Structures are given as C-alpha cells and as structure tokens.
Amino acid sequence: MVDVPELVAQAREGRPRAVARLISLVEGASPQLREVMAALSPLTGGAFVIGLTGSPGVGKSTTTSALVTAYRKAGKRVGVLAVDPSSPFSGGALLGDRVRMSEHASDPGVYIRSMATRGHLGGLAWAAPQAIRVLDAAGCEVILVETVGVGQSEVEIAAQADTCAVLLAPGMGDGIQAAKAGILEIGDIYAVNKADREGADATARELNHMLGLGEARGPGDWRPPIVRTVAARGEGIDQLVEAVEKHRAWMEEHGALTARRVRRAAAEIETIAVTALRTRLADVHGDRRLAALASRVVAGDIDPYRASDAFLADLTGVGG
C-alpha cells in the first residue's frame, strides 16, 4: 500500500519520483486512485493543457521538445505526457522520445513521462485526465500532451486539451487523410511541420482551403491559424507559442476555457461511471448472465431492448 498523503505532499513539492509513482498508480488503475484524486483535486486548476496530435513521424516529439525549451525560457514549469494509445506498455514505442527530449532530462523544471493506455477500461479518455491532474497538482504550469493520431485518440486528446495543435507535414498525403480522420474539426491551431521540405506551401494551402470549406463561423469565432515550423531547428516555435497564447486569450474572453473544462470534466465523470458500471456488471454476472439473455434473444424469447433492461435492472441494489 502507498502512503497517499505523503506521496501527494512530495509530488506537490515537485519531487519527480513522487510524480512518477502517482502516474504509475493511474497507469495501473490502482484501487488507491480514489484516494489520490481526492487529495489532488483541491491542488489543481493552475495548468494550461496543450494537446499535440498528428500522424506518426510528423514531428510531435520534436515540436514538444522545442516547446519545452520555449516555455522554460519564459520561466514556466512544464510537464510532458506522451500517451501511446496503441501499446499496453509505456516506454517501448516512446523510447525515441527520450532521445528527443534528452536535453531536458536534467532540468528540474521539466517533468517528462510516457504512458500507455491500451488494455485499460476507458483507455485514453480515462487515464489522461488523471495523469494531467497529477502534473497539475505537482505545479506544472504548462502541460504538453503528445498523442499519436491513430483512430479515435486524436479526437479524445482534443477533448482533453485547452488548446489542441494538429501537426501535419508535407508529402505525407496528410491533406486527404486529414479530411478523412476528421482532424479538421479538432484543431485549434495547425502546424505544418518540416517546412524545410518541399511541398510545405502546398500542404498549407490545401489545409487552408479545407478549413475554409468547413467554415460556418461568425465574426467573433476562432479561426484556427496555420503555423509553419521546422521543429528540428526550433524555427516557427515562437509563432506556435504565440498562436497558443492568442487562442488562450480568445477562450478566456469568450468564456470558452471554462466551458471546455466543464465539458471535459463531464466526459471524465461519464467515463469513470461507465467504467465502474462495466466492472460491476462483470463482477456480478460475468458473461454468463449476458450469454443467457443473448440466447433468449436468439430464440426470439425476448427482444434486445427488454434484454438490456433486464441486464441493467440487475445492477439495482448492487454495491454503492
């Protein structure tokens, strides 16, 4: 058992080992998380969360590292969370990140952590907000969350960030992919990275065109800017930071930041509740109750709606 109050006190002082242990409790879906979250909640709310997503290899980690440098120069404490939604193990696929982030490894004002979410009930939507809360309570003023844009994950990370930056790169067929993956709806800011390569202009133009097509914006609405970056050389990073600050100011002015955070908390509550419900169903009935109901549906004995009612009704009076 972990001494939660002690661990939280140490994390609050910014001790990296305590922060690491708390995030490990999140990753391992520890039963002590309830206690951890209760202790952390009053300490949170000070961090600004920036999500970075995009196709594999587009330059998310390089950009993240460059952003860390920029925010450190501005004197901010920075947390980095690299979430790998496709792997059940942290570290493996993200090993390269440690190399790209290595220049920050000895900086006590930076906390870097990778986290795997596959195989967890609730996955990224469940784990990321809790890990973000740990970093927030530990005093990180800016939290950068990198997620590989595969499947649902980019939409999920966008929902959890205050500002979501979508990265593209020339020559990756990103333009067409972007439309398909629906990333045109989630970006608050777009960065065309690898702008040192041929085709950056075309990518930016195509993106601009597609963003314009989906435009149903009023005069006061946020129009996502397109920033060109060469993250590997730190170029365009100041403009990216500036775009983030502009978005933040716009949100604060329009009450959008609070609204977004309330939406995020609502989604988190829902995810925890649904996860608890699933766990409870599995605990109480296992698959047998479900199989029995399914057999009756197949036999035409009852319809699936009534079967679902029966399944849910079994929860009444179970646990608390």
The residues binding ligand GTP (CB under 6 A) are 54, 56-62, 96, 100, 148, 193-194, 196-197, 230-232
Q: What CA–CA distance (Å, rounded) separates 175 from 160?
A: 24
Taking CB under 5 A as the rule, does residue 117 contact Mg ion?
Answer: no
Q: What residue number has its CB nearest to Mg ion?
A: 61
Of the candidate spans 27-35, 59-67, 116-124, 232-240, the one that interacts with Mg ion by CB under 5 A turns out to be 59-67
Q: Is residue 113 at the binding interface for Mg ion, with CB under 5 A as the rule? A: no
* Closest distance of CB 124 from Mg ion, Å: 15
Which partner from the list ligand GTP, Mg ion, none does 194 bind, CB cut-off 5 to 8 Å by kind?
A: ligand GTP
Which among Mg ion, ligand GTP, none contacts residue 232 (Cβ within 5 to 8 A by kind)? Answer: ligand GTP
Q: Which span sits near Mg ion by CB under 5 A: 3-11, 12-20, 29-37, 58-66?
A: 58-66
Find all residues with CB under 8 Å of 159, minimum gap 6, and list them: 125, 263, 264, 267
Q: Which of 10, 53, 55, 61 binds Mg ion (CB under 5 A)?
A: 61
Judge contact between 270 and 126, C-beta under 8 A. Answer: no
* Short-list 140, 89, 123, 54, CA closest to 268: 123
Alpha carbon distance 314, 317 (integer Å): 8
Question: Do residues 150 and 177 touch, judged by C-beta distance below 8 A?
Answer: no
Q: Which is nearer to ligand GTP, 57 or 304 (CB)?
A: 57
Phi and psi, residue 208, nearest 5°: -60, -45
- Cβ proximity to ligand GTP: between 10 and 90 the closer is 90
At residue 2, φ and ψ (nearest 5 deg) are -100, 140
Which residues form the interface with Mg ion (CB under 5 A)? 60-61
